[in-house]
Amino acid sequence: MTAELPRKTFAIISHPDAGKTTLTEKLLFLGGGIRDAGTVKGKKSGKFATSDWMEIEKQRGISVTSSVMQLIYDDVQINILDTPGHQDFSEDTYRTLTAVDTAVMVIDSVKGIEAQTLKLFKVCKMRGIPILTFINKLDREGKDPLDLLAEIEEVLEMETYPMNWPIGMGKTLKGIYSREKNKIEIYNDQHERVIVDYDEQTMLEDYEKEKLEEDVMLLDEAGNDFTMDKVRNGELTPVFFGSALSSFGVQSFLDEFVNLAAPPQPRKAGGELISTDGDTFSGFIFKIQANMNPNHRDRIAFLRICSGRFQRGMEVMLSRTGKKMKLSQSHSFFASDRETVNDALPGDIIGLYDSGNFEVGDTIVTGSEAFQYEEMPQFPPEKFAKIMAKNALKHKQYHKGMKQLVQEGTIQLYRTPYFDDYIIGAVGELQFQVFEYRMKNEYNVDIEFIHMTHELARWVTKGEITDNMTDSRKMLVKDQHDRSVLLFENEFSLRFFQDKYPDLKLSTGWELL
Ligand code: GDP
C-alpha cells in the first residue's frame, strides 16, 4: 500500500449482470490495479479460486465471497471492495457497505433499477453515504435517459445530476457530452478514447445537435443544481453514462470519481465520532472469509482502518474481550501473493489471519482504552429453519462449525428459550445451502433442516414478552447476543400483534441503532 496518498474507499452495488465485474476490471486496468487473494470472481474467465467450498459458486456461476482491490489513479489510492452479486447474500454486501465511504451504483440502461437490488440502494441512502451512478450498456438500445433519471429520483427519493449526457443510444450511439467541459467523448468500438470540443466537432448531424442541445437545456433549466454538499450527504447522485464493455465513459467516470468520492469518514463509537487522524489506531472487522487458501484452512478477517496508522508488529486490543495481541507478519496480507502490509492508513482494508479470535463487527484499538465501533446492524432474515446434526454423536463438530460460521456472519443463529433448539435465519435460500455445504465439507457434519413458515424477524427494543403473548406462529427466540427476537409468519400477524401490544417496540435489524 502506498503511504500518504489520499484514500477513497468504495464498493459497487448492482443487480447481477448490470456490468459490475466489467466496470471493475476496466477501472483496475486504468489504475494499474491488482486483485487480491480474495478474488474468486471470474465466471467468464473461468479463473476460480480452488477453495473447495467455493464449488457452490462455481456450480452456480455466482460470487458468494467478496474481495478487496486497489488502484492508484491521479495520485489517489482507490480501494474497491467487491460485493457478492446474488441477492441472497445481500447481508454480506450490507456489511461491506459499512466499510466504505462511497457507493457506486451500476445500472443496466436496458433494465433500469431492478427490484432485487433496491433494498441495497436504500441502505446506502439511509446511511447517507454518497452514491455515484454509472448507467451502463449505452451501446444497447436502452431506456430513455430522462426516464432513467426519473426512475432513480422516484424509486430512491434522491436527486440526480447527469455529469454527461448520451448522444444517441445502441446502434445510433455517437458519444457522450460532458456538461461541464462542453466536450464530446466520441463512441467507437476500438476502445480508443477520443475527445473533441463540442464547438469544433463535425460528426453530429443537425438533428443530433438539436436533440442534444434541447436535452441539455432541459437539464439546465428543470434539473437539479449540483452541489458537493448534496453529493457528500447522499442527497444527490451524480450520474454518468457509458459502456463498460467498450471502455467508453469509464475513464471520464474515474476522472470525476477521485473528486466526488468521499475521503475516509469518521465513524461512531459509543455515540461519539472517532476522528480519522487521531493517534490511536482503530478499525473494525466487517467480514471474515474462511478457507481462501485450500492448503491451510485459514480464515481472514477483513479490517477497515478507521483511525491512526497501522504498522506491522503493533500491539492492539480486541475491544470485545480486552485481549491484547500483536499484529505480526503472520497477521496481515495484501495482493495475490499475500504480500505483507507494513503500513496502512484510514480507509485501507487489511486482512488479518484469524485463528478464531475475531467476530464480524469486532473493533480493535491500540492503547489501553477500549471502545467499540457501532454494532453492525443485522439484515432482517426472511427465511428460517430449525437445524440439528443428523448424527447426534457429532455434536462437538456441530457446535464448533456453527460457532465459527456464525462468527463469520454466514447465517444468523437463534435459540428457542426453553429447549435451546437452534434456528438459523438467512436473507435467502442460498445462504442455507452454503451453510449446509460448509458444515459437511469443513466440519464433516450432516445437517437436518426443518424449514419454518416464519418470514419476518423483529427485535424487541422496548418492553417485555411474556409466555402468553407468543405461540408457535409468533415465536420468541434469542439472537446471538441474547436479545429477544419475535418471528412472525407474515405481515398480517405482525400487524395484529402490534395492535394488540402497542407498548412494545419492535424493530427490523437495521433500525436497531
Ligand atoms: P455483473 O454480474 O454485474 O458483474 O456483470 P458483468 O460485468 O459480468 O456483465 C454481465 C454481462 O454484460 C456480460 O456478458 C458483459 O460482457 C456484459 N456487459 C457488461 N458491460 C456491458 C456494456 O457496456 N455493453 C454491453 N452490451 N454488454 C455489457
The DSSP result for 395-412, as a single string, is: HHHHHHHHHHHHHTTSSE
For residue 114, what pLDDT is reported?
84
For residue 62, what pLDDT is reported?
44
**The two domains 7-165+226-260 and 267-365 share their CATH topology (first three levels equal):** yes
Distance CA 344, CA 250 (A): 28
Distance CA 148, CA 151 (A): 5
pLDDT tens by residue, 79-131: 998 877 677 777 888 888 899 999 999 999 999 998 767 877 877 887 889 99
**Atom number, ligand 1, closest to the C-alpha of residue 85:** 2
Q: Where are the domains of the chain?
A: 7-165+226-260, 267-365, 383-507
Choice among 46-50, 230-234, 249-253, 280-284 with the minimum mean pLDDT: 46-50
**Atom number, ligand 1, closest to the C-alpha of residue 14:** 3
Given a contact cutoff of 8 angstroms between Cβ atoms, the answer to whether 10 and 100 are in contact is: yes
C-alpha 157 – ligand 1 centre gap (Å): 27
Of 508 and 495, more confident: 495
Residues with CB under 6 A from ligand 1: 14, 16-22, 85, 136-137, 139-140, 243-246
Annotated binding-site residue? 343: no
Alpha helix (H) ranges present in 98-205? 115-127, 145-156
Grid cell, residue 438, equals 460448509
CATH number of 7-165+226-260: 3.40.50.300
C-alpha 394 – ligand 1 centre gap (Å): 45
pLDDT tens by residue, 17-67: 999 989 998 998 888 765 443 343 433 333 333 333 455 545 544 444 557
> Which secondary-structure segment (H or E) carries 94?
helix 90-97
**Atom number, ligand 1, closest to the C-alpha of residue 16:** 2
Which class in CATH covers the domain with range 383-507? alpha beta
Of 216 and 93, more confident: 216
For residue 319, what pLDDT is reported?
94
Expressed in percent and rounded to 5, the helix, strand and coil fractions of the chain are: 30, 30, 40
Q: Which residue, by CA, sits nearest to atom 22 of ligand 1?
A: 137
Choice among 104-118, 154-168, 231-245 with the minimum mean pLDDT: 104-118
pLDDT tens by residue, 405-462: 888 888 999 999 888 899 999 988 888 988 998 899 888 999 999 999 999 999 999 9
Query: Torsions phi, psi of 18, nearest 5?
Result: -75, -20
- DSSP string for residues in 224-269: PPP-HHHHHTTSEEEEEE-BTTTTBSHHHHHHHHHHHSPPPPPEEE
Annotated binding-site residue? 65: no
C-alpha 49 – ligand 1 centre gap (Å): 21
Specify the residue for cell string 478474488. Answer: 39
> Which secondary-structure segment (H or E) carries 436?
helix 429-443
267-365 classified as CATH 3.40.50.300: yes
C-alpha 33 – ligand 1 centre gap (Å): 20
Reported ipTM: the value is: 0.99
| pLDDT surpassing 80 at residue 337 | no
Percent of the chain with pLDDT over 90: 57
